[in-house]
């Protein structure tokens, strides 16, 4: 009788093995599932509240200096993207974190012994993200109390608003101080020039010049006023931004161009104007005195207006951030994801049980072989 050759069917053998041990698989994983579900329902529910904050005039690059855009005739150098990054960075400072921790008693909530550990716990739950459209989000995770998550996000925004206000008012105050000093200097110079002009007229009796000379004076005075303005801007930028800022180099070039234009006018650079050298000698004193008074009067008038505007801006309580979407009380938990966790637990439980069944079956089938090798 011919021997029937047996073909190896590992997949069939595996299926038969599973069938024979189905009750074991079911019992073990049922117990694991019950224990896992019981454990999952003991976990804290974590809620997340989010606010969207817009930086006003972000696309235009005004940033912190937006409140001074009508007063300051030059850019402060606060770029759009860097301004948004600055506000996002402020939320991670210890000054802000201290306020949030104390206000909401988070050191006790997180059961931390030190402030440093509490900082880390708060930052782990805080999310600040750039939406790349001139806005950013502030979000916070909190266990079991969705209202608390909302309150903490709003506290972060409130503290950010306070700091933004301080920054803006500090810029306005600094600018007002520079304008005030420049105005005092200009006013003092004007008084001295007026006195000198009056003395000259009383001494010489010269009281009027031709219209052509007057046009020369007016042109020079406009440029002199522009030069003074740019020098004030340069000094303020050097103190505020530091000497390495590229805007300072640009401002120096502007001043040099104005200087060159003034000198050109004095030498008769425009055909319709009269050069200083062409004015009769007996009227040169009048020309110089009249020019000084005219220039300094216009500078004083300009600085007086700027000073008044700077004082108004200093008193304004404005910030350049806006709460676009206020934080809401979340109505859904963000974690734990119970179903996903249960599936993962059951997968590993079933895998370990199968490994046990396969190992036990192999041991029974090869008991003598294993014994001989031990």
The string of pLDDT tens digits covering residues 74-122 is 444 444 446 788 888 999 999 999 999 999 999 999 999 999 999 999 9
What pLDDT does residue 242 have?
A: 67
pLDDT band at 41 (very low <50, low <70, confident <90, very high): confident
pLDDT of residue 164: 86
Residue with token string 């855009």: 69
Q: Distance between CA 341 and CA 345 in Å, rounded?
A: 6
- State which CATH number among 3.40.640.10, 3.30.1330.40, 3.30.200.20, 3.30.70.1130 fits the domain covering 46-169+321-325: 3.30.70.1130
Question: Which pTM value belongs to this model?
Answer: 0.56
How many angstroms separate the CA atoms of 226 and 233, rounded? 11
Query: Strand pairing of 135-143 and 46-55?
Result: antiparallel
Task: Please name the residue ranges forming H helices in 140-283.
Answer: 146-204, 211-241, 246-266
In the chain, CATH 3.30.70.1130 sits at 46-169+321-325
Q: How far apart are CA 244 and CA 251, in angstroms?
A: 12
């Amino acid at each position: 009788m011919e021997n029937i050759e047996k073909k190896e069917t590992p997949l069939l053998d595996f299926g038969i093995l599973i069938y024979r041990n189905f009750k074991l698989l079911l019992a073990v994983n049922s117990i694991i599932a019950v224990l896992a579900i019981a454990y999952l329902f003991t976990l804290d529910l974590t809620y997340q509240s989010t606010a969207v904050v817009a930086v006003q005039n972000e696309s235009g690059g005004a940033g912190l200096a937006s409140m001074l855009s009508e007063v300051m005739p030059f850019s402060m150098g606060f770029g759009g993207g860097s301004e948004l990054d600055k506000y996002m960075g402020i939320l991670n400072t210890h000054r802000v974190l201290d306020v949030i921790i104390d206000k909401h008693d988070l050191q006790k909530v997180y059961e931390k012994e030190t402030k440093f550990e509490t900082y880390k716990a708060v930052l782990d739950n805080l999310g600040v993200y750039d939406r790349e459209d001139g806005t950013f989000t502030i979000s916070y995770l909190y266990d079991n109390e969705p209202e608390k998550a909302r309150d903490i996000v709003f506290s972060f925004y409130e503290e950010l608003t306070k700091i933004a206000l301080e920054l803006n008012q500090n810029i306005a105050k600094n600018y007002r101080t520079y304008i005030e000093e420049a105005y005092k200097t200009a006013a003092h110079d004007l008084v001295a020039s007026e006195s000198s002009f009056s003395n000259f007229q009383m001494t010489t009796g010269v009281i009027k010049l031709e219209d052509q000379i007057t046009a020369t004076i007016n042109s020079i005075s406009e440029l002199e006023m522009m030069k003074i303005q740019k020098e004030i801007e340069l000094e303020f930028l050097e103190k505020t931004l530091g000497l390495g800022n590229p805007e300072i180099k640009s401002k120096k070039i502007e001043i040099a161009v104005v200087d060159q234009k003034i000198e050109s006018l004095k030498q008769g650079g425009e055909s319709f104007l009269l050069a200083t050298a062409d004015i009769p000698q007996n009227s040169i004193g009048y020309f110089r005195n009249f020019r000084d008074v005219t220039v300094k009067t216009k500078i004083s008038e300009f600085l007086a207006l700027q000073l008044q505007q700077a004082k108004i801006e200093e008193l304004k309580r404005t910030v350049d951030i806006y709460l676009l979407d206020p934080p809401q009380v979340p109505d859904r938990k963000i974690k734990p994801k119970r179903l996903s966790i249960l599936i993962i637990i059951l997968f590993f439980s079933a895998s370990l049980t199968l490994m046990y069944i396969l190992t036990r079956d192999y041991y029974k089938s090869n008991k003598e072989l294993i014994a001989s090798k031990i």
